[in-house]
Amino acid sequence: MFETHHSLPWNAVTLQSGPLKRRAELNRNYMLSLKSANLLQNHYSEAGLWNPPQQPADCHWGWEAPTSQLRGHFLGHWLSAAARLSAVTNDAEMKGKADFIVAELARCQQEMGGEWIGSIPEKYLDWVVRGKRVWAPHYTLHKTLMGLYDMYEIGQNEQALGILLRWANWFYRWTGQFSREQMDDILDVETGGMLEVWANLYGVTGKGEHLELMQRYKRRRLFDRLLAGEDVLTYMHANTTIPEVHGAARAWEVTGEQRWRDIVEAYWRLAVTDRGYFCTGGQTSDEMWCPPHQLAGQLGPENQEHCTVYNLMRLANYLFRWTGDVAYADYYERNFYNGILAQQNAQTGMVAYYLPLETGGTKVWGTPTNDFWCCHGTLVQAQASHTRDIYFTNDEGLVVSQYLPSRLRWDYNGAEVAVSLESKAHNVYALNIPRELPRQSPHPAYMLNISCEQPTAFTLTLRLPWWLAGEPEIVINGERQRVPHAPSSYYHIRRVWQDDTLSILLPQTLKSVPLPDAPDMVAFMDGPVVLAGLCDDAPMFYGKKDHPETLLAPSHERQYAAWQPGSYQTRNQPHSTRFLPLCDIGDEPYTVYFPIVEQP
């Protein structure tokens, strides 16, 4: 039986020192390195407030170039990410920069007549109505709308709401001139998350015109066919539809109308459950949905667009909160390691638009100011959102959903509870466990400390992940718990807490993951992490496919007192190949899927 989970306030959770926090800091430094004038350049241009610089280096290019029809989309992502960062860490520098940009948007809005605040002209939308080719104006405009809403809702900036409300008046008037059939034609051109923005705004104001805007932007030609059980996704542009279904999810939350939730659940079944995915969790090739369970022919240089990874993880968050179903948290985790982390350069912080799964693939990294792909935008949002899915609450207490080093400050029924989750990086020497338990282990190890200002009774729920390979070791204050080997489930601990320490050991093992339509093509996973072979070909492996330990052996597995996870070398093979976590691969050619010849 599942139950509703609730997100904690943005400022309740912070990251602890470690590799993940270093990646988040790379993202923050990148965001702050971008000049406010350049972030605003296209809004300034529309308002007649910008003179292009004499030196090309002083301008943003790529999809943000003044000649790009998608110009201005990145600023909305930047504002959303800035709102998150300033809320989580009380980052005064980021908050000040974001508030300044909102104030400048207000100035631009005033210059443009008091309502419109787009980085592109209104006529782009009229071109859509006329059927004239134009590159996704709704998508572009949605990003600014989203950034304004997040600056209000998360960043506590009232001026952002005022800008958004005035701009909503323009959209209400513009859409009011079209019939339902005409609106459906308009919505056939990528609309991004417009529906979600209007649902969010209706959730704030409760006004009829914002409800009406939400209804006008419902994507009937997609939603009706989803509810009818049709496969409307195969070879369809993936990231066109995911944000539209975010809108349906938010519409259900603000209206309670069951049809909206039915749309979301039908979409998840079609996109994920009944379609299957690569070992990484991705489902796309060249930005298109792959056919259900037909993935072997889809391996190429353009798998797994970063935007689709991030947006499906957002959809998983909606469904996890509604149901508490552990499957959504498992999906989130797989994509976190093998998408969000695998598609951020751990040295530069830049994004890989795609994650190649072809033989000998290489990641192509973006540049700070010359690309600004759509995935640049979801990069800065994703790397600012790591704290959002670690902890949740339910009617019984606290849920630990993801095992990421973090600190939580939680007000539970008036009692202040502090939680610290530390990764021991596969080193159990520091864990408080009985002597009879293994003192050295290659398994993930964590220490969870709970401190309450007064004795407090609640249920602590721990996710037992899908990759669990044996009975977990959970020890509370030196007392070992009896925990079943039950992957993709929860373990509940009900007690009075005050100053308690939990040691958590989660057994993992090397697993082989074949392609569903080519069972002789196999990838290898170490717990939740996909391994990549450092090679520009796919040599034939010989051995037992279902026993990957006959094919790979740990390499350089210990350094002083700590285990070094994820490094492997082939064993008993004609050619030697080293394997590393896919999320640690930088510029090296790599291969994920290998042909296996079964041998006894």
Let me know whether 256 and 142 are in one domain.
no
Count of helix runs (H) and strand runs (E) in the chain: 17, 22
Q: Which structural domain, as residue segments, surrounds residue 591?
A: 510-598
C-beta atoms surrounding 81 within 10 Å = 27
Among 154, 145, 160, smallest CA distance to 100 is for: 160
For residue 438, what pLDDT is reported? Answer: 43
Do both 51 and 169 map to the same domain? yes
Span 118-152, pLDDT tens digits: 999 999 999 999 999 999 999 999 999 999 999 99
Residue 343 lies in a domain: no
Return the pLDDT at 559: 47
Q: How far is CA 489 from CA 124, 388, 461, 517, in A?
A: 49, 20, 10, 28
Asked if 386 contacts 24 with a C-beta cutoff of 8 angstroms, the reply is yes
Assess if residue 339 is contained within a domain: no
Quick one: angle between helices 374-383 and 306-323, nearest 10?
A: 40
State how far the Cα of 125 lies from the Cα of 189, in Å rounded to an integer.
Answer: 10
Mean pLDDT, residues 211-219: 97
Residues in Cβ contact with 588 at an 8 Å cutoff, skipping those fewer than 6 apart: 362, 534
Does one domain contain both 171 and 243?
Answer: no
pLDDT number for residue 555: 84
| 3-class secondary structure, 144 | helix
Residue 562 confidence (pLDDT): 43
Output the six-digit token pair for 577.
Answer: 């190949």
Q: pLDDT digit string (tens) for 339-348?
A: 999 999 999 9
Which of 81, 74, 118, 116 has the alpha carbon at shortest distance from 97? 81
* Per-residue pLDDT tens digits for 157-186: 999 999 999 999 999 999 999 999 999 999
pLDDT in tens, 481-506: 999 999 999 999 999 999 999 999 99
Angle between helices 208-216 and 158-175 in degrees, nearest 10: 60
481 with 517, same domain: the answer is: no
Please report which confidence band the pLDDT of residue 117 belongs to, taking 50, 70 and 90 as the band edges.
very high
Structure tokens at 387: 């704290």
Kindly report, residue by residue over 416-447, the tens digit of the pLDDT.
Answer: 999 999 998 644 444 454 444 444 446 789 99
Claim to verify: residue 501 and residue 514 sit in the same structural domain: no
Domain-located, residue 22 = no
Structural domain contains residue 284: no
pLDDT given for residue 54 in this prediction: 64
Domain closes at, from 109, 142, 175: 175
Indicate if the pLDDT at residue 455 is higher than 70.
yes
What percentage of residues in the chain have a pLDDT greater than 70? 95
Domain stop point among 244, 274, 304:
274
Which tokens go with 529? Answer: 């992490």
List the beta bridge partners of residue 462. Answer: 400, 491
On whether both 157 and 57 belong to a single domain, the answer is yes
Backbone angles phi, psi at 25, to 5 degrees: -70, -35
Residue 18 lies in a domain: no
- Tell me what pLDDT residue 58 has: 85
Residue ranges of alpha helices (H) inside 34-179 are 36-39, 41-47, 73-89, 92-111, 123-130, 137-153, 158-175
φ, ψ at 257 (rounded to 5°): -75, 120
Residues 72 and 166 in one domain: yes
Does any domain span residue 340? no
Task: Provide the β-strand partners of residue 59.
Answer: none
Final residue belonging to a domain, choices 462, 481, 505: 505
Contact 16/420 with Cβ under 8 angstroms? yes
* Residue 371 placed within a domain: no
Q: Report the number of distinct structural domains present in the chain.
A: 4
The answer, yes or no, to whether residue 520 has pLDDT greater than 90, is yes
- The chain-wide mean pLDDT, for the chain, equals 94
Handedness of CA 470, 472, 478, 479 (dihedral sign): negative
* Per-residue confidence (pLDDT) for residue 147, from 0 to 100: 98
Same domain, 170 and 33: yes
User: What's the pLDDT band for 276 if we cut at 50, 70, 90?
Assistant: very high
How far apart are alpha carbons 458 and 509 in whole angstroms? 33
Same domain membership, residue 81 and residue 127: yes
**405, 420: one domain:** yes
Asked if residue 424 lies in contact with residue 431, where contact means CB atoms within 8 angstroms, the answer is yes
First to last CA, the chain: 43
Q: How buried is 197 (Cβ within 10 angstroms: 0-12 exposed, 13-18 middle, 19+ buried)?
A: buried
pLDDT of residue 436: 43
- Kindly state whether residues 141 and 242 are assigned to the same domain: no
* 300 in any annotated domain: no
- Beta strands (DSSP E) in 346-480 are 391-394, 397-400, 406-412, 415-423, 445-464, 473-476, 479-480
pLDDT tens per residue, range 50-96: 877 767 778 999 999 999 999 999 999 999 999 999 999 999 999 99
Helix (H, G, I), strand (E, B) or coil at 234: strand
Q: Is the pLDDT of residue 565 over 90?
A: no
472 plus 540 within the same structural domain: no
Calculate mean pLDDT across residues 357-386.
97
pLDDT at residue 51, rounded to an integer: 79
Residue 416 forms beta bridges with which residues? Answer: 411
